Amino acid sequence: MNVMASKDDRLEFEAHKREMSLALGRDETAFQHAVDTLVHLDKYDYAYLWSWMGVPIIQMPADILATQEVIWNTKPDIIIETGVARGGSMIFMASLLQVIGKGRVIGVDIDIRAHNRDSIETHLLAPRISLIEGPSTAPETLQRVQAEIPAGASVMVVLDSDHSRDHVLSELRTYGPLVTEGHYLVVADTLLGRQDMSQAPTKRSKVWYPGDEPYAALKAYMGETDRFEIDEALNGKLVLSSSPGGYLRCTRP
C-alpha cells in the first residue's frame, strides 16, 4: 500500500497553464518569432501536411488542439464549418462529437469536389456530418443550414472559407447570430492580418494582404456586436497558429 498520499494538484496545474498562456499572449517578441517561423514553414505548405483519421486537414497542429479544447469544454450540439476543402476538419470535429456521444457537423462549401465528397461520405464518421454546397453567405445556403439545426440546439461556428475581409465580415453577420451563449465562434486565418505586407503568402490561388483578411473583418464585427469576447487564455498560447485572436466566446443569448 502506498502510504505517501500524493497531492491533488489539478487545479494548481490548470491555474499555472492559464497564467503562462496569458503571459505568452502579452509576449510580442515570442509572437513575432513564431510569425517568422510560420512564414518560413509556408514554403513547405506546412498547414497542408496533416490528416485526421485519413482525411487531409488544412490546419496548424496548434489550431487542431485549440479546437479540441473548445469542443471538449463546451460540447456543442451543432458545429457549422464554412470552408470544407478535403474535409479533414469536419472529420476531426465529428470524431470528438462521436466520443462525446451527440451532435452533428454541418459543412458548407461553394465547391464540394466529387472525390472530397466521396472521402467524407464514405468515412466511418459520415453519420455525424451534413454537407451543403453553395456560397456560404447566400440566403438559400443559410436556410439550408438552419433547417439542419434542431430547436434548442447549442451551436458553434468555424469560418474558414474565402478569407477576404468583406466575405468574412458577411459570414460573421450571417453565422455569428447562430452561435449560442457559452459557445464559440472561430475565425480562421487571422494570422494574415498579423503579418506585414511582405509576409503575405503569395503562392495560393488568392493573395490576402493585411487589411483585406479575416482579422480586419473580426475587428469590424466586434465593433458591431457585444455578444462575443476574445478568449484571452486560449488565444494567448496560439503563437504557432493560423488563427491567433480568432477564438471568440459568445457571452450573451
10 Å CB burial of residue 117 (0-12, 13-18, 19+) is middle
In the bound complex, what is the minimum distance in angstroms from residue 231's beta carbon to ligand SAM?
20
Q: Which is nearer to ligand SAM, 85 or 185 (CB)?
A: 85
Candidates 9, 36, 111, 181: give the one binding ligand SAM (CB under 6 A).
111
Q: Which is nearer to ligand SAM, 25 or 66 (CB)?
A: 66
- Alpha-helical runs (H) found in 103-207: 114-121, 139-147, 165-175
Number of residues that bind ligand SAM (CB under 6 A): 20
The DSSP-derived string for 199-251 is GS--SSSS---TTSSHHHHHHHHHTT-SSEEE-HHHHHTGGGSS-TT-EEEE-
Candidates 77, 109, 212, 231: give the one binding ligand SAM (CB under 6 A).
109
In the bound complex, what is the minimum distance in angstroms from residue 189's beta carbon to ligand SAM?
7
Q: Which is nearer to ligand SAM, 25 or 167 (CB)?
A: 167
Q: Which is nearer to ligand SAM, 112 or 234 (CB)?
A: 112
Residue 185 binding ligand SAM, by CB under 6 A: no
For residue 59, give the nearest of 210, 217, 215, 191 by alpha carbon. 191
Site for ligand SAM, residues 34 to 93, rule: CB under 6 A: 57-59, 81-86, 88-89
Residue 212 binding ligand SAM, by CB under 6 A: no
* Rounded Cα gap, residues 112 and 199, in angstroms: 30
